[in-house]
Structure 1
């Protein structure tokens, strides 16, 4: 899945979809998108000092809250874990490290309790 496909999928097709599975590329490209846009907004805010840009950054963060949680839950589902594992990230340092390891792990092969594997879907780059 490419950068544009990942962002488009998360923001348009699966905005608040907490069921199913998400590939690593979908999760990490969406995460990269949110980091890049936040970085650009922070630089603009620092350079211009415009209060409107800070409001825009807050709105952007709020707009991405639900899809970020949804794609994180779907990514954990892809590794065979419950979405509740996202809460381990609230534990300082150790929780964040464990969560990154879970999110960066390979997909669970074959169907699991959360659905069929997304890597084996006909027409996906994995089977093409």
Structure 2
């Protein structure tokens, strides 16, 4: 039978090696963190490696020495098995079982076995969708909303009651579906769906939809489920089309806003010019008087 050896370590350092240096070297050697090697320095013999040949044991010991610690090689005793030594271990039930405490934490598994990709559910707040699918679904929702709005206008021309009822139902359905796909988009980023309420906050609600479209999703499973399926070519086309529509709307709004500002500036300028005071009582130019005329007039006065 071939002999087998083991490496035993008792926490001894080599001469001139500090403990912190040895800990760092061992952590690098065993590919673990520094706290993981602290149990090797308890002062008690610890078997690091078993079932080694003499050559392998020498190599392991040399690696420990290079790390700055001392170890030793010991011969492993052969293991002998005998059926006579087998003792059946019968589990003993306690005399009484303690009642479950209402304050005890739930004993549920921490890790959940998620599938590779999640299932797409349009009409649900459960699950996750990525940025491109969120844009594609938003475009489809807006398109359907415009068609239903046109239908409501046609019904209104026939019956106000029927048209108003249909419009109310369509508006509620539009809001509900928007919340559902928005919740799945936030879940993809690992955020709670309650953050959708930020859309109702002044100022914040003006740019939070942009955040929802820009924030990347989690690379792997998160607490809301596995990652969504990959984007199909149709999803990519719809997402790009929706971005183009949003960019066009933004440009038109900016141009309209600039025209409005220009009109207001021109109106304010004209009002200011009209309010400026004008001096109608201008001084008449002084006409020079001929001295001869003055003399004639004085003589005529004397004659009189």
TM-score tier, shorter chain, comes to 0.5 to 0.7
Q: Which consecutive residues of structure 2, in runs of 5 or more, have no partner in the other structure?
A: 1-119, 234-304
Alpha-carbon distance between aligned partners in 2 of 1:34 and 1:56, rounded to the nearest angstrom: 17
Alpha-carbon distance between aligned partners in 2 of 1:25 and 1:53, rounded to the nearest angstrom: 34
Gap change, CA 1:59 and 1:118, over 3 Å in 2: same
Larger Rg: 2
TM (norm. structure 1) is 0.65
More helix by share: 1
Tell me what 1:114 maps to. Answer: 224
Which of 58, 73, 77 aligns to 2:183? It is 73
The alignment covers a number of residue pairs equal to 111
Which of 190, 196, 199 aligns to 1:89? It is 199
Which of 159, 165, 172 aligns to 1:55? It is 165
Q: Which consecutive residues of structure 1, in runs of 5 or more, have no partner in the other structure?
A: 1-7
Gap change, CA 1:125 and 1:36, over 3 Å in 2: closer
The structure showing larger relative contact order (alpha-carbon pairs under 8 Å, at least 6 residues apart) is 1
**Cα drift, residue 73 of structure 1:** 0.7
**Cα drift, residue 92 of structure 1:** 2.0
Pair 1:40 & 2:150 matched? no
**Cα drift, residue 58 of structure 1:** 2.1
**Cα drift, residue 43 of structure 1:** 4.4
- Greater than 3 Å deviation, 4+ residue runs: 40-44, 48-55
Tell me what 1:22 maps to. Answer: 129
Gap change, CA 1:18 and 1:43, over 3 Å in 2: closer
Which of 138, 145, 155 aligns to 1:31? It is 138
**Cα drift, residue 119 of structure 1:** 4.1
**Cα drift, residue 30 of structure 1:** 2.4
